[in-house]
């Protein structure tokens, strides 16, 4: 049973909730409680009842308490890191009016395009928000709701992101942070506030939105008596503002103003993301120019199709996910849910280069390659957003950190090394989003910098794998197919 202060970092992702019980002094992971989510929807629809997230949080905390043997009285703080962009609409009692539209719901692609044009194009949006509306962004989803279910939109008394919804349940305070808010496309990274002109464009009253805390570690309230009773935790412990999942992973790695800056990260999960923490405000239409949880910035590119899409191909081929070899002449773009980067919301999977001697193992390897090339193509743009020349020895020599579930898979690591030609670091800590949230919770409880806390915990440490010769033949073959196919994948 831990006698040191304990903090809980919650990772509320698309598929599940994880509650990381963490020794606040050493960063030692005591236990991770888990509970699944249910995602519904066909075609481009992806939805979850927000009450599922709250029930999963309760189950995960209970499991973590039991597994760790933690005396609940030792817990001093809690923070939630959540999947970004989801649209949660609430009534006047704080109850959901409908299931939340998730980040990977692509139905709002027409609204995203119309919003982009309404403000004067991509550059006008990046100048204000750092990002251009795509189907993933919350603003596009809100516009879709206004057009497709105006009665619900009219009845909406509050709008929250997934992590905001849970933070408010914990603390009774309507709060978010700049990191997650920067993924809405109605928050300005240029001013650090909600943008009045964008709110007017969206027919949105600022009173519907939560207050924005200065950082994800800001204490926005205390655990209410009601929530404490449901969770089996002490009332009054610190509740941090929390943040989005990508911002929290950066904290868990020790990235930010008190840690490493301008170093690239590749996250291999349901989505594939490449990002870096930097002091330079990003403004590239090719990227999402997010704020980070600690007051710096997080230029990021995100793909919709990563580990789940490759696992689906493995299932169709009746292969184990590791039973793959390089794809040979075959190219498989596994865009099973449309795609965000590049912006192809109506796309489906594409296979070309099939031969009589193509093996099932090569087809699976081609799926890995298609997913990896798609996200790695954005790496140079992320480095440019940090003020680096991607071709310079300095930028090219910086190791690529691999995180997320895919980073634990041999084939994912081998494919990324082969196609990037970079040194690769695989952090030993496997729950970086939850550990980042734990550092935010510790910051809320103590007033310390969460990046400095995570750095002292050394949660971002791991073995370094040397660079291998880059497979330019595969890189160029996959890239060529993608460039040629993109116009036809738009519809």
Q: What is the pLDDT of residue 2?
A: 47
**Owning domain of residue 151:** 6-246
Domain-embedded: residue 452: no
Which SS3 state, helix, strand or coil, does residue 408 take? helix
| 84 annotated to a ligand binding site | yes
Model pTM greater than 0.85?
yes
Q: Which of 213, 246, 279 is the last residue of a domain?
A: 246
Give the active site residue among 245, 262, 414, 471. Answer: 245
The span from the first CA to the last CA of the chain, in angstroms, equals 57
CA atoms of 24 and 118, how far apart (whole Å): 48
| Residues 356, 477 within the same domain | yes
Q: Is the separation of the CB atoms in 80 and 10 below 8 Å?
A: yes
CA atoms of 194 and 405, how far apart (whole Å): 34
Q: What is the pLDDT of residue 489?
A: 66
Give the H/E segment covering residue 9: strand 6-12
Q: What is the CATH number of the domain that holds 54?
A: 3.30.420.40
CA atoms of 148 and 153, how far apart (whole Å): 9
Verify whether residue 380 is a known catalytic residue. Answer: no
Q: Is the separation of the CB atoms in 56 and 100 below 8 Å?
A: no
Buried b (16+ CB within 10 A) or exposed e, 384-409: bbbebeeeeeebbebebbbbbbbbeb
| Residues 201, 316 within the same domain | no
Q: What is the pLDDT of residue 346?
A: 87
Q: What is the pLDDT of residue 490?
A: 55
| Residues 214, 269 within the same domain | no
CA atoms of 438 and 23, how far apart (whole Å): 9
| Residues 140, 59 within the same domain | yes
Hey, how many other C-beta atoms are within 10 angstroms of the C-beta on 36?
12
Give the H/E segment covering residue 63: helix 50-68
**Which tens digit of pLDDT belongs to each residue from 250-267?**
999 999 999 999 999 999
| Residues 325, 357 within the same domain | yes
Buried b (16+ CB within 10 A) or exposed e, 224-263: beebbebbebbeebbbbbbbbbbbbbbbbbbbbebbbbbb
Number of structural domains found in the chain: 2
Q: What is the pLDDT of residue 144?
A: 98
| 163 annotated to a ligand binding site | no
Q: Which residues of the chain have pLDDT under 50?
A: 1-2
Q: Which of 225, 246, 267 is the last residue of a domain?
A: 246
| Residues 209, 285 within the same domain | no
| Residues 385, 324 within the same domain | yes
| Residues 61, 77 within the same domain | yes
**Which tens digit of pLDDT belongs to each residue from 437-460?**
999 999 999 999 999 999 999 999
- With both helix axes pointing from N to C terminus, report the angle between 360-376 and 410-420 in degrees, rounded to the nearest 10: 60
Q: Which of 193, 211, 246 is the last residue of a domain?
A: 246
| Residues 125, 105 within the same domain | yes
| Residues 207, 241 within the same domain | yes
Which stretches of 211-294 are DSSP H helices? 225-231, 245-252
């Amino acid at each position: 049973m831990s006698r040191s202060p304990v903090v809980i970092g919650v990772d509320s992702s698309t598929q599940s909730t994880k509650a990381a019980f963490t020794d606040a002094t050493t960063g030692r992971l005591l236990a991770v409680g888990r509970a699944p989510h249910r995602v519904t929807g066909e075609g481009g629809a992806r939805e979850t009842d927000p009450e599922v997230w709250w029930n999963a949080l309760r189950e995960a905390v209970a499991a973590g308490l039991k597994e760790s043997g933690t005396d609940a009285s030792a817990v001093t703080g809690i923070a939630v890191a959540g999947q970004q962009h989801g649209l949660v609409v609430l009534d006047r009692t704080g109850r959901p009016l409908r299931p939340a539209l998730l980040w990977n719901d692509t139905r709002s692609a027409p609204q995203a395009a119309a919003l982009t044009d309404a403000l004067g194009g991509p550059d006008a949006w990046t100048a204000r928000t750092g990002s251009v509306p795509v189907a993933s962004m919350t603003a596009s989803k809100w516009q879709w709701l206004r057009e497709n279910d105006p009665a619900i939109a009219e009845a909406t008394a509050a709008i929250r992101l997934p992590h905001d919804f849970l933070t408010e349940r914990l603390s009774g305070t309507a709060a978010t942070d700049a990191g997650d808010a920067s993924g809405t496309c109605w928050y300005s990274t240029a001013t650090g506030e909600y943008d009045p002109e964008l709110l007017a464009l969206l027919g949105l009253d600022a009173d519907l939105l939560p207050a924005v805390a200065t950082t994800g570690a800001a204490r926005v309230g205390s655990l209410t008596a009601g929530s404490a009773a449901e969770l089996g935790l002490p009332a009054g412990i610190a509740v941090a503002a929390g943040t989005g999942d990508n911002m929290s992973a950066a904290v868990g790695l020790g990235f930010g103003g008190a840690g490493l800056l301008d170093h690239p990260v590749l996250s291999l999960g349901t989505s594939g993301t490449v990002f870096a923490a930097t002091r330079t405000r990003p403004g590239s239409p090719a990227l999402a120019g997010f704020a980070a949880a600690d007051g710096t910035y997080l230029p990021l590119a995100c793909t919709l199709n990563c580990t789940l899409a490759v696992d689906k191909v493995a299932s169709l081929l009746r292969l184990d996910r590791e039973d793959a070899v390089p794809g040979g002449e075959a190219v498989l773009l596994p865009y099973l849910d449309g795609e965000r980067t590049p912006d192809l919301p109506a796309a489906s999977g594409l296979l070309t280069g099939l031969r009589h001697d193509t093996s099932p193992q090569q087809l699976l390897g081609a799926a890995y390659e298609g997913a990896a090339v798609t996200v790695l193509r954005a790496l140079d743009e992320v480095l440019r957003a940090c003020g680096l020349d991607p071709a310079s020895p300095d930028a090219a020599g910086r190791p690529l950190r691999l995180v997320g579930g895919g980073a634990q898979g041999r084939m994912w690591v081998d494919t990324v090394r082969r196609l990037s030609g970079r040194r690769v670091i695989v952090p030993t800590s496997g729950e970086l989003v939850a550990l980042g949230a734990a550092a935010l919770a510790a910051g809320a409880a103590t007033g310390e910098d969460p990046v400095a806390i995570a750095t002292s915990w050394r949660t971002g440490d791991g073995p370094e794998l040397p660079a291998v010769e880059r497979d330019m033949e595969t890189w160029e073959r996959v890239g060529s197919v993608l460039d040629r196919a993109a116009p036809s994948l738009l519809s």
